Structure 1
């Protein structure tokens, strides 16, 4: 797939809570086909320490408005700089990068997201529903104050939540939610902290369910040149930015 380098106009910044926000960025030319699971690399201007581009999952694509939504958590100088963008600013983006989640048809699908790893799952949920699948989403966060965008996910299916302190939904981690044992799923898709994804993978292997994960390795170039995102697989080392970020769990040395 052809990779593009374009300037986008910042249309809107929506603060979800004190740590998370969504940027609506408008392409100046018609958007190409973008698939769930793909990501972008953004250039940070006027930063004294954040020299490399930052990889961000594509949260959603609005073709009617020619807009890409980027879900971002403020964790370092780079993402904090992105949080300072205002309407009318320009953001240089390389896109679309990476591979995609599989899209089955007429299947019972489970999405499991933890923390800011929920970013690519909303766009995936739309594609799964459009393909005739039943979509169930389990979102795990630390506490009730971190529960965001529930209604957005509810547009595509049932949504369940877990919080580590039990202040919202079931107490515990996403892989401990009771729905995982109550219902039989055909496909599982996940993104989030690696320990959580490994727990999802173990659940899927135990139940003999098809499962794909989206890895969150450092991906500076997006073209497989810098080799900072290499991940170990059963068939050798692979660049997450080009042969991922989505991997079938049976291909990983987990």
Structure 2
């Protein structure tokens, strides 16, 4: 679905990290973990849209969180109330919530944190208990800690420089604190996801990939799995841990 969405707010919530709330149709969004593709054209002609995870949504309102990483997101950060954006959504297959096993955990890294927020809300509404582990580079990068705390009794923060929470990455924290779980849902940098796979944990991973079309036509975001290649934009971005192939 390709529509024009209106910016309701666009505010900085961490270092180079912004939360944007958009007004528009949300009726087709079906799962946490889906994403949208934004056309950015503000004096510059950007050929490719920018894929951004849907953080949370309600009727006619979508929240996204993004980090300034280049010219496209620099333009996005300058958008203000009333500005219009051409958006393609919803894209991809999101997370599949499991009622069992009992001990579940959400693991997010950096700008991979946002799609886990809607997942946390959905799991909480279904009476599923879970822990949350979030990883960032520094204290200045941390966001949504208090928002997640509304839905879990146990949230843990790791920063690479140790300026806030546990020093190290999310896996360092999990091992260092001896956190136990039977199943996980994750999103973050590929190195983080590969580390989780190598540990043989059972769960779901949402991959962040550069994309061309965003709906599976160009094959530009294909990822090798144990049986075939899958398009992250169409068959993902969420994949089961058992099916992801990585070079040892």
TM range (shorter): over 0.9
Look up the match of 1:20: 17
Aligned equivalents of 2:26 and 2:51: distance in 1?
22
User: What is the TM-score when the length of structure 1 is the normalising length?
Assistant: 0.91
Look up the match of 2:6: 9
Q: Per-residue deviation at 1:143?
A: 1.4
Secondary structure of 1:79's counterpart equals helix
Aligned: 1:222 with 2:222: no
Aligned equivalents of 1:135 and 1:48: distance in 2?
44
Secondary structure of 2:104's counterpart equals strand
Look up the match of 1:68: 62
- Greater shift, 174-183 or 54-63, is seen at 174-183
1:15-53 per-position Cα deviation (integer Å, ceiling 9, x unaligned): 1123000110010x4633431110001111224252211
1:198-241 per-position Cα deviation (integer Å, ceiling 9, x unaligned): 112223x1xxx421111111122122112211111111112111
Q: Per-residue deviation at 1:182?
A: 3.2
CA contact (8 A) 1:190 1:200 kept: no
Secondary structure of 2:96's counterpart equals coil
Secondary structure of 2:242's counterpart equals helix
Aligned equivalents of 2:170 and 2:113: distance in 1?
12
* Structure 1 residues not aligned, in runs of 5+: none
Aligned equivalents of 1:215 and 1:183: distance in 2?
23
Of the three residues 230, 234, 243, the one matched with 1:251 is 243
Of the three residues 80, 89, 94, the one matched with 1:95 is 89
Q: Per-residue deviation at 1:181?
A: 5.8
CA contact (8 A) 1:232 1:252 kept: yes
Look up the match of 2:192: 196
1:69-97 per-position Cα deviation (integer Å, ceiling 9, x unaligned): 01100001111111111000001111110
Q: Per-residue deviation at 1:180?
A: 7.4
Look up the match of 1:149: 144
Change (3 A) 1:42 1:184: same
Q: Per-residue deviation at 1:246?
A: 0.3
Of the three residues 80, 85, 97, the one matched with 1:86 is 80
Q: Per-residue deviation at 1:133?
A: 1.2
Secondary structure of 1:52's counterpart equals coil
Aligned equivalents of 2:129 and 2:175: distance in 1?
14
Change (3 A) 1:141 1:58: same
Change (3 A) 1:30 1:139: closer
CA contact (8 A) 2:14 2:142 kept: no
Moved segments of 4+, more than 4 Å: 178-181
Look up the match of 1:173: 169
